[in-house]
Amino acid sequence: MAPQDLSAAFIKEYQDRFEKKLKDQEISLLEHWKGQLDKIESMRPDSIASLQMQLSKMSEMMGNRIKVLKKG
């Protein structure tokens, strides 16, 4: 096998692993936030104001997480 073939095979394998890891992380992220939304839904808020408050808290959590990720 020529060095170019080995290099191409290595790049392809690395790319496949990277894409799988990225997909797994995206799934994990979506599962987390879906869980947060499911909690809000199951609370059955009394009024629009309490629903807005819960959504505001969730938005703040997401904003905090984004800040942490941008710092790192």
Q: Where are the domains of the chain?
A: 3-71
Q: What is the pTM of this model?
A: 0.68
Give the pLDDT confidence score for residue 16 in this predicted structure.
Answer: 95
Tens of pLDDT along the chain (72 residues)? Answer: 567 777 888 899 999 999 999 999 999 999 999 998 898 888 887 888 988 898 999 999 999 989 998 997
Q: How many angstroms separate the CA atoms of 16 and 66, rounded?
A: 26
Q: How many angstroms separate the CA atoms of 30 and 24, rounded?
A: 10
Sign of the alpha-carbon dihedral angle for 43, 48, 53, 55? positive
Q: How many angstroms separate the CA atoms of 61 and 65, rounded?
A: 6
Burial (CB < 10 A; 0-12, 13-18, 19+), residue 17, is exposed
Q: How many angstroms separate the CA atoms of 31 and 25, rounded?
A: 10
